[in-house]
Amino acid sequence: METRRVLFFLNPLLMERRNRRMIVEQIAARLRSSGCTVDMQDTLSAHSAGEQAQDAVKAGYDTIFVCGGDGTIFQVIQGLAGSDVALGIIPFGTGNVLAQNLRLPRDPVAAAELQFQCEPVSIPLGKITCKTPGHVKDKNWYFAIAAGIGVHAALMNLAPTGHGKRVGGRAAYYFGGINLLLRHPIEPFEVEMQTVDGCTRSLRASEMIAVRVGEINRWRPGGKMLEPVLRLATVPETSRLGLVHASFHALATRKTQGTSRLPYPSYDDVTQITCRPVADYEYQTPLLVEADGEVIGMKQATVSIAQRRLRMLWPKTAPTPAPRS
């Protein structure tokens, strides 16, 4: 990796423990010894990272390493999308889904060393347009993992400050998910999709996730980061028991059909999805919209492949990139 100016973005909430700042300093020293100019910057807030990334692009950095989790990466992507700056990942988060799909080691130093040998690869991004609280107009967001509406979005909303993530880690998500399946209202919404073969289909669903990656922890939805396609996972309108049944098969057996009358998860390759509330339905809770694990809006959303792309450092251990044109 031929780099000249490198910036490390540090999520300060994740740097509070386990001597993580010292680990990042060690990684930075390794880069400086190879002749790179390296600077460090804390993300000022969860929503400022995108603006800070834009400033870094204007300042002439050629590589940005995000020292944090998928939520920090998501915010930084808002400022990097469409630029020539390469993105690297030092995984310190709870899920580390992008690191999982890039086959990065869990050890931050080993993950950094692997990326030092990488060339950046241009990948398609997803785009989600939705009504964001505090904004009059719809806002566009770019995502690299997944975006959707349903109970899983409510799960992402359990710890909006990040405190629950830091204290409970993955276990907090698992227990939170079980609690939501038992108590959260299972409410329907309308989904209209455009499939890759040009067909338009509609259904009433209880869960919808548009995926860009092949793996999300134990789930294997089969998305492809290098292809401009969304892997859409849906569960049709169902009861609480039906959603539990579909979730079990999505995570454990990977079956999409069977003898049970309860629903199974369904998968489609699509180019665009539009979700909206069911007319005249009285919702007990707001329909939440999430992207890359961050709750960004409510009620309705349109998801598609973005025109902007992202340059990511691509390890040889990750899925093979398509040949360059």
Taking only the tens place, the pLDDT of each residue in 35-59 is 999 999 999 876 789 999 999 999 9
Which pLDDT value is given to residue 95? 85
- Return the closest-CA partner of residue 278 out of 162, 152, 214, 189: 189
How far apart CA 221 and CA 275 sit, in angstroms, is 20
- Return the closest-CA partner of residue 95 out of 174, 21, 22, 30: 174
How far apart CA 299 and CA 321 sit, in angstroms, is 36
How far apart CA 214 and CA 224 sit, in angstroms, is 6
How far apart CA 214 and CA 235 sit, in angstroms, is 19
Which pLDDT value is given to residue 290? 95
Q: Alpha carbon of 153 to those of 140, 160, 286: distances in Å?
A: 18, 11, 11
Which pLDDT value is given to residue 13? 82
Number of Cβ atoms within 10 Å of the Cβ of 114 = 20
How far apart CA 85 and CA 61 sit, in angstroms, is 7
Q: Indicate if the pLDDT at residue 129 is higher than 90.
A: yes
Q: Indicate if the pLDDT at residue 170 is higher than 60.
A: no
Residue with the bigger pLDDT between 114 and 14: it is: 114
| pTM given for the model | 0.91
Tokens representing 296 are 């960004």
Cα dihedral 96, 48, 115, 290, rounded to 10, equals 30
- SS3 call for 287: coil
Q: Indicate if the pLDDT at residue 133 is higher than 60.
A: yes
How far apart CA 112 and CA 65 sit, in angstroms, is 9
